[in-house]
Amino acid sequence: MTTPPPDPDDMLMAAYAAGDGAAFEQLYERHQRALYRFVRRVLGASQADHADEVFQDTWLRVVHARARWQPQGATFRTWLFTLAHHRAIDVLRRGGREVPLDGDEPPPWEPAGAPWQRWPAPSQSLAGDELAFWRRAGERLLQCLDELPVAQRSAFLLHHDDGLALADVAQVLEVGFETAKTRLRYAMSKLRACMGAYLAPLCATPRPAQAAKEGEAPA
């Protein structure tokens, strides 16, 4: 049985706890963009002014906790996002935003058929009209995210934007796996509805080149 290689973040954090200031800089560089984006998006447009404050507090908590931190239970990245999520929730509550826990929502609306059949297929290389379309889609998505409850928004961002596995999402949100999965499902359903309603008129008919790809793309 081979032991898994140590996580680079864990090694850097251990080095920082031992007094290596450069290790912290590497940690910061590895995660700063994703964390900053996560903080801004969780806070939403109404609390965007607090993004810098939450971001800084999160890193300072890392600094203060360096001696106590142990690489067990969660990866550094999961722990980092947990700290940021806690801090963002504090700010949202302070700002008067309601931060409900799981409520009794009705089952999410599920669009019939493939919801994106009129959209261009996702691709790594975009140009021209497609690029302009996805930029508009991005703008709209941020507005749709703002309309989600914070718990669902966080679940979606952690999973889709930051790439955390559902188990890690559950850990960050401090809920059970199934609860995290439910939140994510609600979030995606609402976002699809919000996005589809806005973007559908932009692509009234599927493009021939995309129609061939649609069979490959996941629904």
Partner 1 sequence: MTSSDERDRWLEQALRHAPDADATPPAELRAAILSSARRRSPTASGRAAQWLASAFAWLSRPPVAAGFATLALSTVLGALWWRGSLDEGVDPRVAESTTASAPASAPAPDPAAATAPPQMRDASPPAAAQKARRALARPSPSDTPARAAEAERAEPPPAAPATADAPRSPAHDDELRASRPATAQALAGATTEQRIDTRADPVDAIASSLALRADALHWASGGRTHAHAAPQQAWFDALRQATAGRWQRTRTDDRDGARVQLFDGPRVRAEWLVQSQRVLWLDAESGTWQATLAPADAARLRAMADAW
Distance CA 94, CA 85 (A): 14
Contact pick of 10, 30, 36, 111 for partner 1 (by CB under 8 A): 36
**Closer of 81 and 119 to partner 1 (Cβ):** 119
Q: Which stretch binds partner 1 (CB under 8 A): 89-97, 104-112, 181-189, 201-209?
A: 181-189
Q: 177: which residues sit within 8 A by CB, 6+ positions away? A: 166, 167, 170
Letters for 71-110 (x = contact with partner 1 by CB under 8 A, - = none) are: ----------------------------------------
Report the residue count for the chain. Answer: 219
Min separation Cβ 10 and partner 1, Å: 17
Contact pick of 13, 59, 76, 190 for partner 1 (by CB under 8 A): 59
The residues in 119-138 that bind partner 1, with binding defined as CB under 8 A, are 119, 122-123, 131, 134-135, 137-138
- The whole-angstrom distance between residue 134's C-alpha and the CA centroid of its chain comes to 18
Neighbours of 59 (CB within 10 A): 18
Torsion of CA 130, 132, 133, 138, to 10 degrees: 130
Q: DSSP string spanning 89-144?
A: HHHHHHTT-----S--PPPPP--SS-TTTTSPPP-SS--HHHHHHHHHHHHHHHHH
Q: Which stretch binds partner 1 (CB under 8 A): 1-9, 98-106, 146-154, 191-199?
A: 191-199
**Closer of 90 and 189 to partner 1 (Cβ):** 189
- 176 sits near partner 1 (criterion: CB under 8 A): no
Contact pick of 7, 147, 167, 211 for partner 1 (by CB under 8 A): 167
Min separation Cβ 139 and partner 1, Å: 6
Exposed e or buried b per residue across 136-146, where buried means at least 16 C-beta atoms within 10 angstroms of its C-beta: ebeebbeebbe
- 46 sits near partner 1 (criterion: CB under 8 A): no
- 211 sits near partner 1 (criterion: CB under 8 A): no
- 32 sits near partner 1 (criterion: CB under 8 A): yes
End-to-end alpha-carbon separation of the chain, Å?
Answer: 39
